[in-house]
Amino acid sequence: MASIGVIRGSGALDWDVDWRELGDNHTDFGDGSARPVIAEVGDREVVAMARHGEPHRYAPHAVNYRANLKLLERHGVGAIVALNTVGGIGAVAETGALIVPDQIIDYTWGRIQSFSPEDAVRHIDFSEPFDGGLRAELLRAGEIAGIRLHDGGVMGVTQGPRLETAAEIARMDRDGCAVVGMTGMPEAVLARELGIPYASLSLVVNPAAGLSDSMVDLDEIRAVSEQGMTKIAELLGVFFQILEGFD
């Protein structure tokens, strides 16, 4: 049975398991953010990757997404669940909500979007950026665990590391974005290039810029992230038990 990859953001995955390091973090595309680690969770081997490094050191625009994906591919993962903290824009995206987005609008710039060299153009289909089967399994785990997940929504991905202006968020709202994060791209498209099913579990940690009476509060974001990670760890525990396929 294939292992499952988890790309996590800053929050730790609070399972009582023994993580073992899996080799180094070197690839033909440079060094990944951290060495991948592996543990048994539920009935699955889980290979986890700290997107921003361990400890946290790479800002969203400075992450080597290609190397991180190559490391997960090297260890044979059958699917990848990406954990993203996001700002809420749409009505369902209240602070604390968990969303399984179904679409992406990419507002990033200058990030390398492909494993192909520049003289070997490769166009891939990306109409549906997230894997439908994997999304369905996450939603099913939510039902079984009694943890509310919102099915679908557009993830807008901005360049960061600064947060957005109120006008940028108003534009993203008009564009139909439900949430805004900084790391969904190019991660999702690189997973697609490698043929690895990929889905995101997005935790809303703040109302996006201009959508509340106060400025975005970084301490509050940290507190909501910590609480949310506990819920995510519980949900994924169930997910790894019930997941079918993705070998």
What is the separation, in whole angstroms, between the first and last Cα of the chain? Answer: 5
Q: Which is nearer to ligand HPA, 152 or 210 (CB)?
A: 210
Phi, psi of 106 (to 5 degrees): -100, 110
Give the span between the Cα atoms of 67 and 115, in whole angstroms. Answer: 10
- Strand 80-88 vs strand 20-21: parallel, antiparallel, or unpaired? unpaired
Give the span between the Cα atoms of 148 and 140, in whole angstroms. Answer: 10
Give the span between the Cα atoms of 8 and 98, in whole angstroms. Answer: 15
Give the range of 93-101, 121-129, 144-152, 176-184 binding ligand HPA by CB under 6 A. Answer: 176-184
Residue of the chain from 90, 129, 181, 228 that contacts ligand HPA (CB under 6 A): 181
Q: Determine, following the binding rule CB under 6 A, whether residue 86 of this chain makes contact with ligand HPA.
A: yes
Residue of the chain from 182, 188, 236, 243 that contacts ligand HPA (CB under 6 A): 182
Residue of the chain from 87, 129, 184, 228 that contacts ligand HPA (CB under 6 A): 87
- Taking the complex as a whole, the smallest distance from the CB of residue 96 to ligand HPA amounts, in Å, to 13
Q: Look-up: residue for tokens 């099915």? A: 151
- Taking the complex as a whole, the smallest distance from the CB of residue 177 to ligand HPA amounts, in Å, to 10
Taking the mean position of all CA atoms in its chain, how far away is CA 108? 15
Q: Determine, following the binding rule CB under 6 A, whether residue 187 of this chain makes contact with ligand HPA.
A: no
Residue of the chain from 3, 85, 200, 202 that contacts ligand HPA (CB under 6 A): 85
Give the range of 49-57, 80-88, 121-129, 147-155 binding ligand HPA by CB under 6 A. Answer: 80-88
- Taking the complex as a whole, the smallest distance from the CB of residue 92 to ligand HPA amounts, in Å, to 16
Residue of the chain from 3, 108, 200, 206 that contacts ligand HPA (CB under 6 A): 206
Residue nearest to ligand HPA (CB): 87
Q: How many CB atoms lie within 10 A of CB 202?
A: 27
Q: Determine, following the binding rule CB under 6 A, whether residue 164 of this chain makes contact with ligand HPA.
A: yes
- H/E segment holding residue 191: helix 187-194
Contact present, 38 and 19 (Cβ < 8 Å): yes
Q: Which is nearer to ligand HPA, 36 or 207 (CB)?
A: 207
Q: Which of 180, 163, 170 is nearest to 99 (CA)?
A: 180
Where does this chain bind ligand HPA (CB under 6 A)? 85-87, 158, 163-164, 180-182, 205-206, 208, 216
